[in-house]
Structure 1
Amino acid sequence: MKTIQRIKNVILLLAIITLTISCNSDDNGGTIIDPEPTTISKYVVGFQAFPVGQASPAEYILDLPSLESLTTGEISVEGQGIPLRGWRFFHSAGNTVFTAGYSDDDKCIAYQLDENGALTEKANFAFQSTLDNYAALDDDTLLAVELTYGGLSDKRFHFINAKTGLLEKIVEHPIDIDMGSGTVEDPGSIPWVTGMILRDNKLFVSYHKWLADGSYITPDVDRAYVAIFQYPEMELEKIIEDDRTSPIGVNGHSTGIEKTENGDIYSFSTSALSAGFTAASKPSGILRINNGATEFDTNYFFNVEEATNGGKLFWMDYVGNGKAIARIIVDDNIGAWGVFKEQGEFFKLVVIDLINKEIKDVSGIPIHANRYTSPMFVEDGKVYLSARTGPAIGNNGENADLGETHVYIVDTETATATKGAKVLGLALKGVFKISN
């Protein structure tokens, strides 16, 4: 009898639970559970359009619906995209794309996807002098430092909140200033930052030296420099040097130094007159700072000029698995700043094995131009970048109509490239993926 009673009790309990669930799910009186919000992701590009007449190139920020938009068809801002003012830099941190004006505009604008997936301006702030070098320290912080051409001023590091898009603080520091004698013959020199990497609460900052008279002359081309700061205090710990190659990085890039998965830091030096140097006495090469160390590795130096398939580096960016992708200057004898043009036969693309010191030419992409190279975009092991082919543009715009820009998708394991979407403009100055 006790067993029968237990069975009845269990049946009664199940009936009560069933009735309760039925009542709670009733459309008229039950609790409505909101569905989980859907995350929307989009690909965002910085778009450099064709100039009109003698005007400067027009810049846009444009969102694309899928990765396929980079691989097939055409990318255009006709009837779409957000127009921007003047020539600009494009960088990202977390799910925010930042674009800062150069010379013509003193605003840094943050763009995010709203709840409906539309690309919208989140915030903006003004700066005193051009923000020239950038680093995403993490998903929450973008660090940018001002460019100064002359005068013995401190460097101004801008800490930007990637979630709000707003400037949080500015930290000023002199880094490495040679006061000189204050004369025309000896104006002193100032640092110009070319790359920033955060590792183990230390900020590694590579830089060139420029004469403080605004002449763009590099007074010391015989060594590489990196300043090391304690972070977040931003206290200068020390400056390290290496005389096996020249100063690190190139104007307009943010990738003078790169960090690998195991914490090693690699830097590249160009030593190229056509890339803005006023003299070149040391070979173009790659240095390493081992994980946990704060000095250059004396047992590692990759002389890129002497390597098979090598030459003078213009740009290098880390891909993963010990490999970097790079542009090597085809001819360094085309004059000062010669490769800083929107179109011309300036670069070949290569894959560099940093560990084994090997270089492979990338097949499938012709000799090309790409004046300023924002951080490239990598997804599923493939690299997406913009390149323009065609003869150099003359002083009066000759040959401009003979150029053509495409996205190229590079497989670094096979050192091959596939031509993707045609860009109806001069370049994509950055490719980013963000989510709301």
Structure 2
Amino acid sequence: MNIINNTMDTIWLKKIFFFSILATTLISCSEDNVVTPPQKSSTKYVVAFEANPVGKEEPIDYILELPSLEALTSGEINVKNKGIPQTGWRFFHQTNNTLFTAGYSKDVTCKSYEISTEGVLQEKSKFTFDKTLDSYASTEDGKMIAVELSYDGLGQKRFHIVDAKTGKVERIIAHDIDIDKGDGTKENPGSIPWVTGMVQRGNKLFVSYHKWLADGSYKTPDTERAYIAIFSYPSFEFEKIIYDTRTSPIGINGHNTGIVKTENGDLYSYSSSALSAGFTSAIKPSAILKIKNNTTEFDNDYFFDVENAPNGGKVYWMSYIGNGKAIARIINDDSVGAYEWGAFLKTDVLKMVVIDFYNKTVTDIAGIPNPHGQRYTTPAFIENGKVYISVTTPIETRVYIVDPESASAKKGAKVDAKSLKGIFKLKTDA
């Protein structure tokens, strides 16, 4: 009997030992297979781009949340099973921690996005407008200013003042900007101001522009001087227009950086004078002008002739990157595509450079595939002293990381897109 009992006890102990090991193993395996959810972050990097079409589908714009800044430096960025699709072709603009995405042509809706308290990119609100919002700027008091523009008609320009906190329009103000009504005849149809940049400095709003004839011909009159309209801000009372005859109208169609502000409050503007960038007359050189801080006139002692500088040419676009420098695209040969918007449409007419406002130098950026094409240029994104910007060639769209001090670039992530329209850093609003 004792032998039987001892045997049963031994078997029972072995079973307990076996099941204890089994339970421990199962628990261990279960812990190994636990999927840790991604950490929620109050800061997100977001890109906006025109994704390559699938099959016969039309290309469509997306906004996409990136896992980190490093996603811009290698690999491929795409919207396979991710991203937020938009409707058609759109403009993108960031004010503080709100990303605005506005429709073009018949799409008259502007949506705003934010990072939620849960760390997720989400739609905040939306509003509608009458005509395409073609020019955008951010103010020091957290507003986005967006202007309705058109190629014909002599109506006033409607400035939408949008609160970035809510994403909603606070007020709409209509202004002539530059009154040139003509007499209504074919010979003198008047002209339309086309905004190419807006900068707020204290209680002033500086608005750069060029002009179209108001007959829908896309001809550009008054091309032998630069002009900027100055308004009071936030009251939006018109104050005056300033002129400079050393160069041509400021900025070009489709770009919002005709005028920029430096850290010390000085303003700099660029004039393209390019027949391949939409102008029908170009006599004066492509150049940069300056408006000193606390003044409202062009600085007669400053003039940078970019067109005739070493490594220079006609400026197609520029973006201020700090310390008196801008990253810019320059047209290599303005005769290519002259009068045919060649700088917008051709793929081998531009090069990327660093422009030094203070020392009046132009430096080619090594490592960029020059020449290249870029119909609408991505705003330069700056982080830790480096500039992240896209380049589109006939082969691909790719991010490049530029060191402005050495004027050199490294190849970054490939983007499965026709064009990259923006790189943004958004934080959860407190």
The answer to whether the superposition gives a TM-score over 0.5 is yes
Among candidates 428, 432, 435, match of residue 420 of structure 2: 428
Q: C-alpha distance in 2, partners of 1:147/1:427? A: 23
Q: C-alpha distance in 2, partners of 1:418/1:185? A: 52
Pairs within 5 Å for 1:15-26: none
* 1:260 pairs with 2:252: no
CA apart distance, 1:57: 3.1
1:271 corresponds to: 273
TM-score, normalised by the number of residues in structure 2: 0.88
* 1:188 pairs with 2:180: no
Among candidates 401, 405, 411, match of residue 403 of structure 2: 411
Q: C-alpha distance in 2, partners of 1:276/1:178? A: 20
Q: C-alpha distance in 2, partners of 1:118/1:304? A: 44
CA apart distance, 1:102: 1.1
The alignment partner of 2:137 has SS state of strand
CA apart distance, 1:214: 1.7
Partner amino acid, structure 1, of 2:389: L
Distance 1:345 1:294, change over 3 A: same
CA apart distance, 1:39: 5.4
Pairs within 5 Å for 1:91-106: 91-106=93-108
Distance 1:56 1:226, change over 3 A: farther
CA apart distance, 1:423: 0.5
Distance 1:426 1:415, change over 3 A: same
Q: C-alpha distance in 2, partners of 1:234/1:139? A: 14
Q: C-alpha distance in 1, partners of 2:313/2:152? A: 31
2:364 corresponds to: 361
Q: C-alpha distance in 2, partners of 1:337/1:415? A: 28
* 1:377 pairs with 2:381: yes
Partner amino acid, structure 1, of 2:354: V
The alignment partner of 2:276 has SS state of helix
Pairs within 5 Å for 1:144-159: 144-159=146-161
Distance 1:323 1:175, change over 3 A: same
The alignment partner of 1:378 has SS state of strand
2:30 corresponds to: none
Pairs within 5 Å for 1:93-132: 93-132=95-134
CA apart distance, 1:55: 6.5
4+ aligned runs moved over 6 Å, structure 1: none
Aligned pair count? 387
CA apart distance, 1:331: 1.9
Q: C-alpha distance in 1, partners of 2:58/2:268? A: 35
CA apart distance, 1:54: 7.4
CA apart distance, 1:340: 1.3
Q: C-alpha distance in 1, partners of 2:171/2:62? A: 28
Structure 2 gaps of 5+ residues are 1-39
Contact 1:207 1:226 in 2 (8 A): yes
Q: C-alpha distance in 2, partners of 1:252/1:54? A: 28
Distance 1:244 1:107, change over 3 A: same
CA distances 1:31-59 after superposition (whole Å, capped 9, x unpaired):
xxxxxxx8511111111112457765311
CA apart distance, 1:334: 2.0
Contact 1:255 1:316 in 2 (8 A): yes
CA apart distance, 1:138: 2.8
Q: C-alpha distance in 1, partners of 2:260/2:139? A: 12
Contact 1:255 1:317 in 2 (8 A): yes
Contact 2:110 2:127 in 1 (8 A): yes
Aligned Cα RMSD in Å?
A: 1.5
Contact 1:193 1:206 in 2 (8 A): yes
Partner amino acid, structure 2, of 1:99: T
Partner amino acid, structure 2, of 1:164: T
Q: C-alpha distance in 1, partners of 2:271/2:57? A: 33
Among candidates 242, 246, 249, match of residue 247 of structure 1: 249
CA distances 1:343-372 after superposition (whole Å, capped 9, x unpaired):
611211100110110111000001222211
* 1:171 pairs with 2:173: yes
Q: C-alpha distance in 2, partners of 1:213/1:385? A: 37
CA distances 1:300-331 after superposition (whole Å, capped 9, x unpaired):
11001110000011001110001111000122
Q: C-alpha distance in 2, partners of 1:181/1:192? A: 20
Q: C-alpha distance in 2, partners of 1:338/1:113? A: 39
Q: C-alpha distance in 1, partners of 2:391/2:160? A: 31
Farther off after superposition, 327-336 or 279-288:
327-336
Partner amino acid, structure 2, of 1:210: W
The alignment partner of 1:340 has SS state of helix
Please identify the structure whose Cα radius of gyration is greater. 2
The alignment partner of 2:343 has SS state of coil
Partner amino acid, structure 2, of 1:412: P
Q: C-alpha distance in 1, partners of 2:90/2:334? A: 26
TM-score, normalised by the number of residues in structure 1: 0.86
Contact 2:194 2:253 in 1 (8 A): no
2:36 corresponds to: none
Contact 1:94 1:138 in 2 (8 A): no
